[in-house]
A and B are shown apart, each in its own frame.
Chain A
Amino acid sequence: MIGARSGIGLAEFQVWLAGTAPDDAASIVLGEMRLPRTVTALLAGGALGLGGALIQGLSRNPLADPGLLGINAGAAFAMVATVWWLGPMAPALLLFPALCGAALAALTVSSIATLSTSPVTLILAGAALTALLSAALRGLILLDPYALEVYRHWAVGAVDRADVATLQTAALVALAGVVLSLTVARWLDVLALGADMAQSLGAGVGRIRLVGLTAVALLCTAAVMVAGPIAFVGLLAPHMARLTGAGGMLSQMLRAALFGGGLLLIADILGRVIVPGVAIEAGLGVTVIGGPFLIWLVRRQAEGLT
């Protein structure tokens, strides 16, 4: 309801809901711009929050975040590479390369992470993967000015560019991810006791990880498709969930999804109203909050490492 254009109030919203005046300017703004935007923020934020809780549970590492581990970068690189290879195409079609990219990145990082429980190894592996993918991306951008145009407006992560078709596809992908996450939630509680303990309690650690990572890849792909590579939501949301007292994995995941969606929505709204006339993209807002939070978290973690 809050946006660059004032004069849209509850009355206009009711008109739009009733569908009585489909050509009214306010209805168009609501139906074709603001509503998709809100849905995008909730969908991407929720998916990232849930994905973050999942990957933190899977890696038993409070610093894990799909954005920091290179999973978003994998999806982004695959999409830009496809555009570069095949030329401009409908965003909904980019689903498949994005999914492959995210899955491959998740697999690479997690295969390293499963070998070592050290948070440093995981975060360095993510940094390495991100560095590699972003350098490759940079090469592609230099080869193709069109790809630069696509990338630089999309790299920050924003919630105002998805069309309805993309949103629908992404929602389906996210739904698949949610279903898979719910099936492993219970087992992640067991995994939290350590891999050996989980195995002796009858949990197939390999299978949990496989299902969990697939879910993470699906969720991240959905988020990247609609909003670009947004970092830090997946890091912040699970911590907010735990701070508000979520204990079990299931409640952690649900709360993280809610917090993630809310976070991105608030970042978007604040970005639109904070400087009049200039829309600051949601990804930037989240980075401004999330970056310092990460540093704070690391400093707290580091006390245990010295």
Chain B
Amino acid sequence: MTRITVLYVTLAGLLLGLAFALLVVGQGELHPFSVPLDRTILLHFRAPRVALALVTGAGLGMAGTAVQTLLRNPLASPDIIGFSAGAAAGAALVIVVSGTGVWAGAGAVLGGSVTAALVLALAWRGGIAPLPLVLIGVSLSLLLAAATDVLLSLAPDLQASEVTRFLSGSFAGAEWHRVGWMGAITIIGGVFLAWHTFAVDRLGMGDDMARALGLGPDGVRIRVVAVSAVMVSVSVAVAGPIPFVAFLSGPLARQLSKQSGTVLLLSGGIGAALALGAEALSGMLIFGAHLPAGVFTALIGGPAMLGILFLNTRQQ
């Protein structure tokens, strides 16, 4: 078996094992086939959480690796260059203005998409070069994070806690219709990105080389960034920001498979595994409380990101 096959088999086993553990063992063993109440718990509480973690993680992993490869920078994932921050700010704004969390999802999608459009527009100089795009995205991300903090401090207590809950990023409270939305976006976006990996991988040789081979770098960049932004925004809408999954999946996939380029499918799988793992951790009691999945992905992803940065700069 090749390295890739081994990887896929291991990953599939890991995902199945985690899903099974979360579904049936979880917090108390279930007997879905003999006890009707257990069946209800499984179908309406545990299964949607697991499914949401899977589709969200896969979507984030694929969007992340596509943008990283596109911008030729392992650090330039959608959650670093402002799309997540934009979605979070949009959701926070809607919660504070409307007073409820009902429309938070719509706010997230709108916020993330507007941010992506803004990043592309500000980076446009008769074409889109990767480095300016990254810098503008990071700056905008910082600005939006500051704006979200401002909203949080201005909000009345009730909405402030609603915003905090939303921003913590969690698969708790998942419902089947959210799984449906995210699943559809993950599949449609995934196919779209898969089609574009052909061009994205070739853009890694520089714009001039790509053009000489008959490709159009600017069009590819706009389309891939836009689709990734939508994927990330919808993920924020259904689960809140789950930090670092988009960032971490691609580099992990490349490292494990020893391949270069987008490695889209593997990144999606690793994203799903990361999200599911974080969901499993969030089921455990820590200091007497359940922490949301987003906190765990951040605690794993943050140090990993600094490590990658460190190794990257040392190589130069």
The interface of chain A, by Cβ under 8 A from chain B, is 63, 68, 108, 111-112, 115-116, 119-121, 123-125, 127-136, 138-139, 141-143, 148, 152-153, 155-156, 231, 281, 283-284, 287, 291, 294-295, 298-299, 301-303, 305-306
Are A131's CB and B313's CB within 8 A? no
Number of A-B contacts (CB under 8 A): 160
Give the Cβ gap from A236 to chain B, nearest Cβ, in Å: 13
Interfacial residues of chain B within 68-116, with CB under 8 A of chain A in the complex: 73, 75-76, 79-80
Q: Which of B136, B142, B153 contacts A156 (CB 8 A)?
A: B153
Query: B164 contacts A138, CB within 8 Å?
Result: yes
Q: Can you spell out 22 A-B residue pairs with CB atoms less than 8 angstroms apart?
A: A63-B135, A68-B142, A115-B316, A120-B73, A120-B131, A125-B306, A128-B305, A131-B298, A132-B301, A136-B302, A139-B291, A142-B168, A142-B291, A152-B153, A153-B153, A281-B150, A287-B150, A294-B139, A295-B139, A295-B140, A302-B125, A306-B132
8 nearest A-B pairs in the assembled complex, by CB-CB distance? A132-B302, A135-B298, A302-B132, A291-B143, A139-B295, A115-B313, A116-B313, A306-B129
The size of the chain B interface, using a CB distance under 8 A, is 53
Given known contacts A156-B150, A298-B132, is B291 in contact with A134 (CB within 8 Å)? no
A127 touches B146 (CB 8 A): no
* Distance of B314 from chain A, by nearest CB (Å): 6
Q: Does B152 contact A (CB under 8 A)?
A: yes
Taking CB as reference atom, which chain A residue is nearest B165? A142
Give CA–CA (A281, B152) in the complex, Å: 13
Residues of B within 8 A of A (CB): 73, 75-76, 79-80, 122-123, 125, 129, 131-132, 134-136, 138-143, 145-147, 149-150, 152-153, 160-161, 164, 167-168, 243-244, 287, 289, 291-292, 294-295, 298-299, 301-303, 305-306, 309-310, 312-314, 316
How far apart sit A108 and B309, CA to CA, in the bound complex (Å)?
11
Q: Report the separation of the CA atoms of residues A294 and B122 in the bound assembly, to the nearest whole angstrom.
A: 12
Chain A residues whose CB sits within 8 angstroms of the CB of B312 once the complex forms:
121
Choose from B143, B289, B301, B302 the contact partner of A295 (Cβ within 8 Å). Answer: B143
Minimum CB distance partner of A156 in chain B: B153
The complex places the Cα of A131 from the Cα of B309 at a distance, in Å, of: 14
Known A-B contacts: A116-B313, A139-B168. Give 11 more (CB < 8 A).
A108-B306, A115-B313, A125-B306, A128-B80, A130-B145, A133-B302, A135-B294, A138-B294, A143-B289, A156-B153, A295-B136
In the bound assembly, the distance between CA atoms of A34 and B134 in angstroms comes to 42
CB of A131, distance to nearest CB on chain B (Å): 6
Nearest Cβ in chain B — how far from A67, in angstroms?
8
A108 and B141 CA atoms in complex are apart in Å by: 21
Q: Inside 8 A of B125's CB, which chain A residues have their CB? A: 302-303, 306
Of chain A, the residue at the smallest CB distance from B157 is A149
Partner of A287, one of B123, B146, B287, B305: B146
| B155 CB to nearest A CB, Å | 8
**How far, in angstroms, from A143 to B299 measured CA to CA in the complex?**
15
Q: Quick check: B131 and A302 within 8 Å, CB to CB?
A: yes
Assembly CA distance A295 to B140 (angstroms):
7
Q: Is the CB of B138 within 8 A of A123?
A: yes
Per the bound structure, the CA–CA distance linking A147 and B299 in Å amounts to: 19
Question: Please, which residues of chain B bring their CB within 8 A of the CB of A299?
Answer: 122, 132, 136
Q: Which B residues lie within 8 Å of A142 (CB)?
A: 164, 168, 289, 291-292, 295
A40 to B135, CA, bound (A): 32
- Give the chain A neighbours of B79 by CB distance below 8 A: 131
Q: Which of A131, A143, A155 has the most CB of B within 10 A?
A: A131
How close is B280's CB to chain A, nearest CB, in angstroms? 16
Residue of A nearest to B316 (CB): A116
Given A124-B80, A135-B243, A138-B167, also A306-B131 (CB < 8 A) = yes
